[in-house]
Structure 1
Amino acid sequence: YSHFLSLPLSVHPSLVQKLEAFQESVLVSLGIPLLTVAGFVDSGVEKSIFIKPTRFHLTVLMLKLWNEERVEKARGVLEKCLPDVAAALDERPVSVSLKGLEIMRGSPKNTRVLFAKVADADGGSRLSKVCQVMIDAFVEAGLVLGKDGEQELKLHATVMNTSHRRSKSRYRNKGFDATDILAKFGEETWGDYQIMEAHLSERFKYDENGYYHCCGSIPFPGSTVETGVSQGTSQHDT
């Protein structure tokens, strides 16, 4: 995958601060150094597997856009979604409630992805509805390959992912033990946050604000963000 549809959460400074505090609390509780990438420890937890707070987001759809023509087409599809997105949200702002932690499949002792659970703050389903509107538009445009468009949408906010591990290669694909993390932080309440916009994000490339490079975006109701392509300077991951 080269790109994805994302709903940025890192636009909220208070949430970024909570993530930073959470990461520090987890590392301190497990006795892991904060400032360096330590050697592999038995728990499999190290600083590098935490999502960077400036990249915190919800993923709507993964995309394979391997040339500029497909990127341009995807940008156009997203921008054409704007009226349908507004209608699906009843022309009202939508916020998410982030509370609790959960693992993505498998056993807590061999976790690869740990995420914060997501729900509409008002108890409804408008966010899932609007995400499906965008997914359907990309499927109809022929930009979703294979079964990617048929997968059940499970909105979640990843906080730890072993795919980011930077320790020695023989440990790179090893999971981590989330047992203690779930016991101590499993009911963590992050708060309610308004979804401001949807991005066509490029993987492994980042804008000056630290978020994934924006190839195009649309605002959600109640947002003051302008529609269009990010003009920020970008940099590749190294």
Structure 2
Amino acid sequence: MGDALDDVSEDSFRIIEVAGHQYRVFDSLRTTENSQQEDRHTSSGDDLVVPSTDSALFGHVDDDTTTQTDSNAQFITAEKAAISSCDVPNYFISIPMTDPALQKNVECLYSEIKSLPFCPYLDPFLIDTSKLHITIAMLVLNSESRVEEAKALLNSLSPEIDALIGDNELQVEFEQTLSSMQPNPSACRVLYAKPTRSTEKLLRPIADLILLSFMKEGFTQLKAFSPTKLHMTILNVRTASKRADESEATRGINVGPVLKLSHRFSVVRPKSIHLSQRHKFDENGYYHSVSKIDLAREKN
């Protein structure tokens, strides 16, 4: 692995701290060889964090500061994080975006979307406002014991999350225009609201801490660390495919007119981070919560 690291530029990674240990997280591998060498990076037994090859689904705001390498930094073995590919995520960690003002705001957006020419057919794909959220990590928990372990891990991260928030006021703001997860808006499968740059910079360390901690313990499908693309889904074709044409889930739909809308979203001051079960819901309509940690401002 020494040869591979020699080909990685110094600004392609950053140091983050988890549970008192430092980890070097690579944003990209700028090597002089082809992708076969990159595959060897992820499959070797050396302790190295490298990104997923599916870079289109992941990303983050570039940090303005440069972090120097710590010679004592520890690394995660890719094999430790590997899970059988046949396992499907059945739990997830999220920040609920269920503030009543935001829900009402998004309902108004939905009315705008359905009033556009050729867009009423998008209605089945719009996300129920009671389920709005920002996903942090998708988890595979296939036994009650694993669920309990995940709950304990999330709770153990609470002091570090509080420290990351510090004296900042934790609030979430979104850009006024929506974005398509797919580069071609006429073949969109996921439409989302993107956090503003200031929100991204505040949430990024928290999301990285949680994802890396759960990946280290083998709770995710990730074989290598890739920062989660922070977003609030507004429309998801695949999720709604059972209520509409199955083919839409594959080919996507045209959201071009929607991308031209400008909509001001309400500012959200999130109260908690949830560990929830997919496809099961609480009385309030949100995904069934098995555990949650309150955010710092709620503890004062």
TM-score (norm 2): 0.65
For 2:194, the aligned partner's letter is K
For 1:72, the aligned partner's letter is E
State whether residues 192 and 231 of structure 2, in contact with CA within 8 Å, keep that contact through their aligned partners in structure 1.
yes
- Match in the other structure for 1:8: 96
Moved more, 205-214 or 88-97: 88-97
1:115 counterpart = 2:192: yes
Identity %: 26
Q: CA deviation at 1:46?
A: 2.7
1:167 counterpart = 2:244: yes
1:120/1:87 Cα in 2 relative to 1: closer, same or farther (>3 Å)? farther
SS in 2 for 1:189: coil
State whether residues 105 and 266 of structure 2, in contact with CA within 8 Å, keep that contact through their aligned partners in structure 1.
no
Q: CA deviation at 1:107?
A: 0.3
Cα RMSD (Å): 2.1
SS in 1 for 2:297: coil
Structure 1: where are the runs of 5+ without partners?
A: 34-44, 226-238
User: Which residue of the other structure, out of 196, 200, 207, is the alignment partner of 1:131?
Assistant: 207
1:106 counterpart = 2:193: no
TM-score (norm 1): 0.81
SS in 2 for 1:216: strand
User: Which residue of the other structure, out of 100, 114, 128, is the alignment partner of 1:27?
Assistant: 114
Q: CA deviation at 1:25?
A: 1.7
Determine the C-alpha separation between the residues in 2 that align with 1:146 and 1:16. 32
Determine the C-alpha separation between the residues in 1 that align with 2:183 and 2:195. 20
For 1:116, the aligned partner's letter is A
Moved more, 171-180 or 52-61: 171-180
SS in 2 for 1:62: strand
SS in 1 for 2:296: coil
1:124/1:109 Cα in 2 relative to 1: closer, same or farther (>3 Å)? closer
- Match in the other structure for 2:259: 182
Moved more, 86-95 or 211-220: 86-95
SS in 1 for 2:250: coil
Q: Which has the higher contact order (CA 8 A, sep 6+)?
A: 1
4+ residue runs of structure 1 moved beyond 3 angstroms? 30-33, 168-174
State whether residues 193 and 232 of structure 2, in contact with CA within 8 Å, keep that contact through their aligned partners in structure 1.
yes
Determine the C-alpha separation between the residues in 2 that align with 1:136 and 1:202. 20
Determine the C-alpha separation between the residues in 2 that align with 1:78 and 1:69. 14
Q: CA deviation at 1:161?
A: 0.7
State whether residues 164 and 206 of structure 2, in contact with CA within 8 Å, keep that contact through their aligned partners in structure 1.
yes
Determine the C-alpha separation between the residues in 2 that align with 1:196 and 1:120. 21
1:60 counterpart = 2:131: no
State whether residues 108 and 179 of structure 1, in contact with CA within 8 Å, keep that contact through their aligned partners in structure 2.
yes
Q: CA deviation at 1:65?
A: 1.1
For 1:4, the aligned partner's letter is F
Determine the C-alpha separation between the residues in 1 that align with 2:92 and 2:107. 24
State whether residues 95 and 136 of structure 2, in contact with CA within 8 Å, keep that contact through their aligned partners in structure 1.
yes
State whether residues 174 and 196 of structure 2, in contact with CA within 8 Å, keep that contact through their aligned partners in structure 1.
yes
1:156 counterpart = 2:244: no
- Match in the other structure for 2:271: 196
Q: CA deviation at 1:58?
A: 0.2
Determine the C-alpha separation between the residues in 1 that align with 2:143 and 2:254. 39
Determine the C-alpha separation between the residues in 2 that align with 1:182 and 1:168. 22
1:17/1:124 Cα in 2 relative to 1: closer, same or farther (>3 Å)? closer
Higher strand proportion: 1
Moved more, 209-218 or 100-109: 100-109
User: Which residue of the other structure, out of 112, 115, 126, is the alignment partner of 1:50?
Assistant: 126
Q: CA deviation at 1:98?
A: 0.9
Structure 2: where are the runs of 5+ without partners?
A: 1-88
1:86/1:56 Cα in 2 relative to 1: closer, same or farther (>3 Å)? same
SS in 2 for 1:217: strand
